[in-house]
Chain A
Amino acid sequence: MNIIRYIIQKEFRQIFRNKAMLPIIFIMPMIQLIILSNAATFEVKNIKFGYIDNDKTSFSRELVEKFNASTYFNVLSDYPTAKKAKSAMLNGEVDVVLEIPQHFSRDLIKEKKSDLSVTINAIDGAAAGVENVYVNQIVQQFNSKIRVGLMLLGTPEVQPQLIETIPLFWYNETLNYKTFMVPGILVLLVTMITLFLSGMNVVREKEIGTLEQINVTPIKKHQFIIGKLFPFLILGLVLLTVGLIIAKLIFDIPMVGSILLMYGYTIIYILVILGIGLFISNYTDTQQQAMFIAWFFMVIFILMSGLFTPIESMPEWAQILTEFNPIKYFVQVMRMVMLKGAGISDIYPQVLKTLLYAVAMNGLAVMSYKKFS
């Protein structure tokens, strides 16, 4: 036990002595948290909207006015021809083009129906889908208004059928994307810092030659690994604390659940990450190699974490792979505990899987550390 204490003491001394590393460890992630949480949003806003009005009646102008009134659309221009609109879309000047046909109002009054053509730039498929929904909503609103108008004109066969859905948004009532993103980004930052620091730690001692000196001492492998893990665990928890304070003070993220549970889970989680880091460190010879491998895992973990894209929409094989993604569990737990107030029984599966993962990775880290080769 005493031996472990000496390793921990030495690691802390080295961390705090390195004046270049401290800001990297603490200040950079906080800047990232503040910037990313504000920037990384899935909201589709300020859609560049253009139209071709072949009708030029009060009806068509009223429809365009509806788009103008919407906060989602920036009504940019009125294109004289479809060809002009097409080239504008090609140049990226416009994302959604609405073409109002000739005789739009005449057909509406006489035939009780008319077609509108909508062209959407679908390079970003997800955004295009959302844009389509917004366009439809506005057209529907316009439609029901027209119907009422036509009814008043004395056409009783047109019955307004108003079936409206009134959504209730639970756990994030105002649909604030920051509420959704901040816990997730905090998870990424804690993960990145602890993975990179632990991944480069042992290999750094290999590079400078001190590891050989340690290997010649009668130190036990688990003592060495625990001594190496502990300082980074504390660092990760400090980082989480600073991040949570920022989340509360700057972003006003609700913290419904138990803080204690959050920390308890984070400890297990960081152990997983540190185990992975030390495992990488044991198998590489230079810090550069370790960094590349750490990045390899980091990118996969981030993109398959469900933070940016829902796991439910991934192909089945990818969903199976995400079972091995610790970030997935951490994101789930943070969101569940922070936003829903989930208790230990709710996050039981995540806790169990993370715990198993921690045991496996640290077992591997101890095993792969070879004093004797």
Chain B
Amino acid sequence: MNKENAITVKDLTKTFGAFTAVNNISFEVGKGEVFGFLGANGAGKTTAMKMLIGILKPTSGIATVANFDVISHAEDVKKSIGYMSQRFSLYNDLTIKENITFFGGIYGLKKADIKVKTKELIEELGLHDEANKLVGALPLGWKQKVAFSVSLLHNPQIIFLDEPTGGVDPITRRQFWEMIYREAHRGKTIFVTTHYMDEAEYCDRVSIMVEGKIEALDTPKNLKTLYKVDTMNQVFLKLARNIE
């Protein structure tokens, strides 16, 4: 196993009855990399991600995240990762501050640390006026930014983002990616799924999943050259069309 890898996946498979959601995928994600995990709806991205974050048992294969096996050391994996799902996962009936306190608390942060982190986070997001407002009352884009920041509270090495910008306006998307880059520069590994092909261009490397298999994996530049097209969008369409 390469010590420099944040994520190593080997022959990972997940079947639900007769249906194979994830079919024998293998890849590696280096430390500090922004890794785009693309695929059409139902291609198996979310299933694969759930296995990597230790909430879904693989049918077969091996995966290590932050040098911990996802099956035998799922709880250790969880200490090292941050996760933000496509389904907004803060509590709408708690304020921003209360959400930070709660998630900081269950990650085992000390009271004083939570206080410092809360201050930092609110400052960074410029949410002084909203800090005591219920999260449910915030616009979606702001919610997602808060959710992203909350997933970083315990200073994880690897951050999993499942369609973090779904339904968010272009300006906020842009800001969101700036936040992602900031974390990548701090040495964190980012594993992100998205449907926006312009976002795929921001990634160091991307994999494209089609019907449970990884059909392509390289830098956006190499992929465009390989498929002789100008945009990631065209790469994606070409791959998806081949299957049909």
Contact = CB atoms under 8 A, between A and B. Distances in A.
Interface string A214-229: 1111110000000000
A6 B87 contact: no
A6 B54 contact: no
B78 interface: yes
A5 B54 CA distance: 25
Contact of A2 (B53, B75, B105): B105
Contacts of B87: 208-209, 212
A289 to B, nearest CB: 19
A7 B91 contact: no
Nearest to A7: B106
Contacts of A9: 101-102, 105
A215 B98 contact: no
Interface string A1-41: 01101110110011001100000000000000000000000
Given A216-B53, A371-B55, A210 B91 contact: yes
Contacts of A209: 85, 87-89
Contact of B106 (A6, A13, A372): A6
A213 interface: yes
B83 interface: yes
B192 interface: no
A14 B93 contact: yes
Interface in A96-110: none
B216 interface: no
Given A2-B105, A371-B55, A373-B57, A213 B94 contact: no
B81 interface: yes
B27 interface: no
Contacts of A18: 93
Interface in A355-373: 371-373
Contact of B94 (A7, A13, A212): A13
Contacts of B85: 209, 212-213
Most B Cβ at <10 Å: residue of A7, A213, A373: A213
A372 B54 contact: yes
Tell me the dominant secondary structure on chain A's binding face: helix
Contacts of A214: 106
Contacts of A218: 75-76, 78-79, 107-108
Contacts of B75: 218
B136 to A, nearest CB: 10
B93 A216 contact: no
B56 interface: yes
Interface in B90-117: 90-94, 98, 101-108
A216 B55 contact: yes
Contacts of A372: 54-57, 74
Interface residues of A, number: 25
Contacts of B76: 218
A6 B56 CA distance: 26
B89 A212 contact: yes
A10 B93 CA distance: 10
A6 B83 CA distance: 20
Given A2-B105, A10-B94, A215 B89 contact: no
B93 A210 contact: no
B101 A6 contact: yes
A354 to B, nearest CB: 31
B91 A215 contact: no
Interface in B59-88: 74-76, 78-79, 81, 83, 85, 87-88
A281 B74 CA distance: 23
Contacts of A10: 91, 94, 98, 102
A218 B102 CA distance: 14
A133 to B, nearest CB: 58
A9 B94 CA distance: 11
B108 A17 contact: no
Given A216-B55, A372-B74, A373-B56, A2 B102 contact: no
Given A3-B106, A17-B94, A216-B81, 18 more contacts: A6-B102, A6-B104, A7-B105, A10-B98, A13-B94, A14-B94, A209-B85, A209-B89, A210-B91, A212-B87, A213-B85, A213-B90, A216-B55, A218-B76, A218-B79, A218-B107, A372-B55, A373-B55
The 7 closest A-B pairs by CB, nearest first: A6-B105, A209-B87, A213-B89, A216-B83, A218-B78, A10-B102, A218-B79
Interface of B: 53-57, 74-76, 78-79, 81, 83, 85, 87-94, 98, 101-108
19 contacts: A6-B105, A6-B106, A7-B102, A7-B105, A9-B102, A10-B102, A13-B94, A17-B94, A208-B87, A209-B88, A212-B55, A213-B85, A213-B89, A213-B90, A213-B103, A217-B103, A218-B79, A219-B106, A373-B56
